[in-house]
Structure 1
């Protein structure tokens, strides 16, 4: 039996990295002495995405971001002072699997007096990928990544530490897998949704969990003695997160435009509608115009109030499943997927 330790397990109590000698099932955390039983093939598999974007390209993407939106102050591009740029590798829980769904119910067709519900049956299969950051790095503003098209290489911690800063994962792999499976089920069920669903059947085939270390460039700069940050994807070269000073003129235009147009819809349009007709349906339109006008006024105020800084998130929101194959799948393909699951 080999005594060489594998990298890949995270202690569920303290989050430290636990070395696992090949073939050993019972391991002890070197930090908190927690004893754990290893299941599967050496724990969670670890991978790394290669770095394709060098420092010069990352700086170029950063400069392009400063002029990418009219909501960013116009003088930032020439006034920004680059303070530091460095490479980090962030760990992401990543799950792969195939989703299968079959729904029975009714779908609403037509409108108005011609509306009716017709029986429907929908099937769908999808190749699914789910990612979620595996450590607390809120200051970087990155919660998930896109692994579509990214090659996965064997994890080499020494090589990554020579290139940049490497963060270690925290949290439970089992919890990450549960969240991934729930996301898979929600995604595949959404592909077969009907107006009235009587029954829905879902299966997630061969879900697999891994830990992927992803390269990102962190660029920090100063503008009028205030610090800002931009995060660049180290493989694709896209801006994942960025913060910049807001455009004062754009904030003022948003406030004035929102208040003026909102007041017109909230006051003038309902008054005109009421003066022309007393019909109840027309009064409903007046209430709709009032609601839209008030929403525009509130939105203009919010944009002015919070527009001092411009903040960009490329992948904002909950982790999602990717690589859809589409809905209304051919029956033979659907049955083939079910046979794979039964095997």
Structure 2
């Protein structure tokens, strides 16, 4: 342990020798008499590391497997050339806490009635998020278990890899963790009406974990891309690749065709069902084909518009969800299309014409 990470001013109560105290350590041993002492007061940030188990060649094999896929260029596996593979240790904030609290509200008890309920929450929860800007590596979260944590050895990690130091605020990390815990507590029970809620974060602990990732950079037709492999489990956590033009065209045509079919014919069918029904709430059925049809159209367009470059990231590696207001689904769908439906159609038709010309050559 380097001198920078140790305090040298504490005195052993048994032999009066100077006892070094590594940052974040609570129990220390005297180097002269071996007496153990409990350190009280500000503990700082406890640091851990996760041991790497995946070798470089194993990471290369995982990257080569990433080159396959329907969405990716058909000749990617053949033409891609891996230029560089290196190991990095990224720091991740890790917060664990016992979440205790209650929610009071009402749930549906029958077709037209509700009943009051009290929901109790008492659970130990964990949260982690990158302590640095990971826009280049794309991995906001990693899977960390308590059994994987080992004492941080700065010299050892720096000798085998590039080690990043935290740049994100610990205060912001704790706030994000608390919002995530509230989000998970609310998901324990869906309430039709909620009157009151209160959650407490008990025995909250913040630590910093250095996690190993293999980063591979490859070249395809004079363009550079990157893939990130888990240094512990060997999974591909994040990667970019050139898209498949035929797949993009097929998804655009399929999305437009099915979306319009459901949007038009489905709405007409729902209208007929409502006209023959005496239930006033049946009017909500009209919204289902409209939303589903629009969803298919936008999904097909997104696959075409953004499919030139494929970006893959596991759901478990994205930022953790946090407590907040309801999401505006329809606005998200419209904004996904750029808000310009005329431009969407013109761009799609132009792309289909290009594909047709390629087929005639």
TM-score (norm 2): 0.72
Match of 2:59, SS state, is: helix
2:325 maps to none
Query: Over aligned residue pairs, what C-alpha RMSD do you find?
Result: 2.7
1:135 maps to 132
Residues of 1 paired with 2:257 and 2:202: CA distance? 55
2:242 maps to 245
Give 1:178's match in structure 2, choosing from 168, 175, 179. 175
2:17 maps to none
CA offsets per residue over residues 81-116 of structure 1, 9 Å max, x none?
010000000011111111122222221133xxx231
Give 1:151's match in structure 2, choosing from 143, 148, 152. 148
Q: Any residues of structure 2 matched to 1:305-320 within 5 Å, and which? A: 305-314=305-314, 315-319=316-320
Q: Conserved in 2, the CA contact under 8 Å of 1:181 and 1:207?
A: no
Q: Any residues of structure 2 matched to 1:74-223 within 5 Å, and which? A: 74-110=74-110, 114-148=111-145, 150-223=147-220
2:262 maps to 265
Match of 1:266, SS state, is: helix
Segments of structure 2 that go 5 or more residues without pairing to the other structure are 12-39, 323-361
Residues of 2 paired with 1:152 and 1:169: CA distance? 18
Q: CA deviation at 1:120?
A: 1.5
2:42 corresponds to 1:63: no
Residues of 1 paired with 2:122 and 2:189: CA distance? 10
Q: CA deviation at 1:127?
A: 1.8
1:34 maps to none
Segments of structure 1 that go 5 or more residues without pairing to the other structure are 8-18, 25-38, 322-343
Q: CA deviation at 1:320?
A: 5.4
Residues of 2 paired with 1:173 and 1:273: CA distance? 53
Match of 1:162, SS state, is: helix
CA offsets per residue over residues 156-205 of structure 1, 9 Å max, x none?
11100111100111133233223222322332233244222233232211
Residues of 1 paired with 2:147 and 2:70: CA distance? 32
Match of 2:82, SS state, is: strand
Q: CA deviation at 1:78?
A: 2.0
Q: Which has the higher contact order (CA 8 A, sep 6+)?
A: 1
Q: CA deviation at 1:302?
A: 1.9
Match of 1:84, SS state, is: strand
Match of 2:182, SS state, is: helix
TM-score (norm 1): 0.76
